[in-house]
Structure 1
Amino acid sequence: MYRRRTSKLLKISTNEEDLEPEEKMNNNIDTTENVENVVLEEHDVVKPPSICSRIICKMTYLLSISKVYLVWILIHYGMSHCYVKFCTPPSVYGLIISPLLSSAPHCKAMRWAIYTGANTIESMWVIIGTWICAKMVNAL
């Protein structure tokens, strides 16, 4: 029985009796080097993907992963500006009213979004740093 594997044909034995002792040690696979009349058809040749398609594929994967973090960054940024505008107005009136506004539900919700967004962004940087360190260690 023969099986095609990257332009070489491999002979696979199905019976233990047909094998010599050194072939048994090689996991029942014997590479046949001198193969004649091998016909490679167009569908047998696999072309490697181009550089552009690999970059686009990796960028699409990166974008799909980073959507959650981008949303948290936008929430953190937006809520920080809204908190200043609605909960701590920059005036004498804002100074007087800020103790009352700090316990208002909308200010509590904005504080929660700011705090949770900051923790998520911090976790994102830890994950990115860990991934970069793992890539560097694996490259060594």
Structure 2
Amino acid sequence: MKNILITGASRGIGRAIAKEFAQTDCNLFVNSLHGGEKLTECVDELTSIRRGRAGTGCIVALKGDVGDPGFVRSMFMEIKRHTQSFEGAAKSDANGPARIDILINNAGISYVGLLQDMTDDQWDRIVATNLSSVHYCCREAIPGMLSAGGGRII
């Protein structure tokens, strides 16, 4: 069964992608900076879609900031714990990387206003979310993809 991680999955394009994957048999990991109600609603909707077609696999919410490399490392450790419990000890390498088959780097933020009015903190936040997060997630996902013989990054 494929393991799929979608960042920025609680709304918009990320949520639409997650809804499509919820119709398939896969373990679906959905990340969002915005936890609480938005992420809960998303997981509830995905679970309802999955139940409606009697699909298999789990849906796991991972709340946190993918622009933070420490969070991304802990998120992949959490994914590894889940996938090890699904696959069982026989198939799982306790010391190996987390196995993600499809990584969808969707998290993104924007700034509405004039460039000259943007603060350094706002700029740093945009770069961390829109650029650095892709690097951090790919860096964590690629070792598992290589050990599994391949994967997809979007």
Bigger strand share? 2
Higher relative contact order (CA 8 A, sep 6+): 2
Same fold (TM over 0.5): no
